[in-house]
A and B are shown apart, each in its own frame.
Chain A
């Protein structure tokens, strides 16, 4: 399968600080999705990006898809304790499969 790497692996932030996770693929992606997984839970779909250079926002979350469609980022402004969890990007392959990135675990310190 595809290699999809994410950095950082772990991030601790003070509540109110910003947070960014970066996703990089070894191959060009057809599209990219982002998911959030709370401890003990299952991944929950956040968003899908399809177009080169696309930027989408969901309240305090901003998602970007790189011009070459090989990288993506998720930025959270003014983190809250409810943002705690692991954020995964997932790159689209052929046949509708998605290959998950290595994930970034976010801890928000109150």
Chain B
């Protein structure tokens, strides 16, 4: 159980365009999902907490208008990278859990974004 699906796994886009990444909980409902960013050989940096039916909570230093998060249902959160630039190229990964008190977080397989 506790499967999280993330799409696409890889995307290449041109500078100035927007890219949407989807994160779905397949066998449980997730009122909260988390979005991370990971640079090569580095740790995961928490970007924001996605809250179903309300605004996302962004970590300090993360641009809200740049990284739009929508959590419209209990099984889907989306991250849209707007007006992408080469420095936005990174590995984006989401996570969720059916029960934070008793289970760890399940991660999606991640999205490798390359902005050219």
Contact = CB atoms under 8 A, between A and B. Distances in A.
A105 interface: yes
A10 B82 CA distance: 35
Nearest to A95: B49
Interface residues of B, number: 24
A42 B112 CA distance: 12
Interface in B55-107: 57, 59-60, 93, 95, 100, 103-107
20 contacts: A33-B105, A42-B93, A42-B107, A42-B109, A43-B93, A45-B103, A45-B105, A47-B104, A48-B104, A88-B44, A95-B32, A96-B32, A96-B49, A97-B34, A98-B34, A100-B36, A100-B43, A100-B45, A100-B46, A102-B42
Interface of B: 32, 34, 36, 41-46, 49, 57, 59-60, 93, 95, 100, 103-110
